[in-house]
Amino acid sequence: MKTLAIISQKGGVGKTTLATALAVAAEKDGKIVAVFDLDPQASATFWKDTREADTPAVVAIPPSRLQHVLKAAEDTGCDLAIIDAPPFAKDIAFEAAQRADFILIPTRPAVLDVMAMTKTLELVGHYNKPAAVVLTFCPIQGREIADTELAVKQLNAEIAPVRIHNRVAYSRAQQTGLTAQEFETDGKAAEEIKQLYAYACMHLFPTKIEATNVVRPAKLTASRS
Ligand SMILES: Nc1ncnc2c1ncn2[C@@H]1O[C@H](COP(=O)(O)OP(=O)(O)OP(=O)(O)O)[C@@H](O)[C@H]1O
Ligand SMILES: [Mg+2]
């Protein structure tokens, strides 16, 4: 089993939205997946409560139980665990980072978010785990994206070669316990999630991805060649 943690010290950057969407993408890819909700706000769990489908499993747990629960998930045949971490809680972010095989750090392209991203990168860097910043709530145009990408580069951090734009499909889907890709199957948000899932899989399941020939985003191919 592999573990993907979605961590940001900033609130409202799309952590839960990505955790649930990536979980549904993993299911579609044939994986047994569970979301572990470490956030006292329990947004992912609330999303599951409003969802008609029985899967993916979403389990709200106290962070102190994470190690045990991950082991139990692995023993029962889970392929992928996704941790949805809360904002502001440093100790919980440490716990999530420690257990992760790969970490996504959602970040809005805005100056205060870059400050929070820097703190989150410092925090996850403590465990030296593979991590990447993923830009969320991106406008269609604007210099903020280039500025934020430059800030990530200057911190020698990796940036996901997929941008998540500000799209109503993400929030509307959640009203009925869906993900953006279920809400608008052929929509642009659905394509973004597909690409982000493929990128996360390159880190989480590298051999399998090479074997199944999933398209590599150009930037990543270049950086690994
Ligand atoms: N790319 C997006 N475009 C538009 N709306 C979005 C996008 N991503 C998330 N949202 C909406 O923004 C709000 C915050 O998203 P979400 O709950 O995923 O953030 P979060 O980082 O988990 O927040 P918290 O820190 O409170 O846990 C939600 O209402 C969600 O529907
Ligand atoms: Mg959340």
119/10 Cα distance (integer angstroms): 9
Query: Has residue 223 been placed in a domain?
Result: no
Query: Has residue 17 been placed in a domain?
Result: yes
**Peptide bond just before 56 cis, omega within 30 deg:** yes
Query: Has residue 222 been placed in a domain?
Result: no
Query: Has residue 152 been placed in a domain?
Result: yes
Per-residue confidence in pLDDT tens, the chain, 225 aa? 999 999 999 999 999 999 999 999 999 999 999 999 999 999 999 999 999 999 999 999 999 999 999 999 999 999 999 999 999 999 999 999 999 999 999 999 999 999 999 999 999 999 999 999 999 999 998 899 999 999 999 999 999 999 999 999 999 999 999 999 999 999 999 999 999 999 999 999 997 545 444 455 544 443 333
Domains of the chain: total: 1
Q: Which domain holds residue 86?
A: 2-217
Pocket test for ligand 1, best of 9, 47, 170 (most atoms within 8 A of CB): 170
State the Cα angle at 130 between 180 and 213, rounded to 5°. 60
Asked if 54 and 177 count as a contact pair (C-beta separation under 8 A), the reply is no
Instruction: Return the C-alpha torsion angle 138, 81, 55, 163, nearest 10.
Output: 10
CATH of the domain at 96: 3.40.50.300
Q: Pairing relation of β-strands 80-84 and 33-37?
A: parallel
Query: Has residue 224 been placed in a domain?
Result: no
Distance (Å) from CA 76 to ligand 2 centroid: 26
Query: Has residue 91 been placed in a domain?
Result: yes
